[in-house]
Copies of this chain bind each other. A is one copy, B any other.
Amino acid sequence: MPEVRDHDIREKFRRSGYTLTSQRRAVLEALSEARGHPSAEDVYLVVKRKNPRVALGTVYQALSVLEEIGVIESKHWSESPTRYDLNLAPHLDIRCVRCGDVAEVPGVEMDGVEERIQANTPYEVTRTAMLIEGLCPKCAGERNGA
């Protein structure tokens, strides 16, 4: 993890009152090592390699704390486990319905959408998420080949 983010993370822990334990740090490291957008299970497997005593429940709890204090974010496509992401900048992700791989979709501006939604509903908007599904090039090729 870059120094800057590291400081930022420490700051968020300090402000929240939660403590930055070794398990939570391990979860963060697993997230930054993992390519793509790992599930809780993926994170668990990575963390377990270094510390076999860690339980899956601990990983879930750590992920929930990290999301609550705004260090990571989650996306939940239906019919698949929740994916976690260190990238906090607004961005779109697409998930392959066949193999489950998640990739970023660059270059699509969604600025102002949340504001327009808020302007058109009496609800107090707390979160918006764009969930995109498709076929990755690899799976599209295999489908045509088969």
**Interface residue ranges, A against B (CB under 8 Å):** 74, 76, 78, 82, 92, 94, 96-97, 103, 105-108, 110, 113, 116-117, 120-137, 140
Contact = CB atoms under 8 A, between A and B. Distances in A.
A122 B96 CA distance: 11
A84 to B, nearest CB: 12
9 contacts: A94-B125, A105-B117, A105-B121, A106-B120, A124-B140, A126-B134, A128-B130, A128-B132, A129-B130
Contacts of A136: 122-123
A82 B76 CA distance: 12
B131 A131 contact: yes
Most chain B CB atoms below 10 A, which of A74, A103, A121: A121
How many chain copies does the complex carry?
2
Contacts of A122: 136-137
Contact of A120 (B82, B96, B105, B135): B105
A121 B105 CA distance: 6
B117 A97 contact: no
A122 B117 CA distance: 29
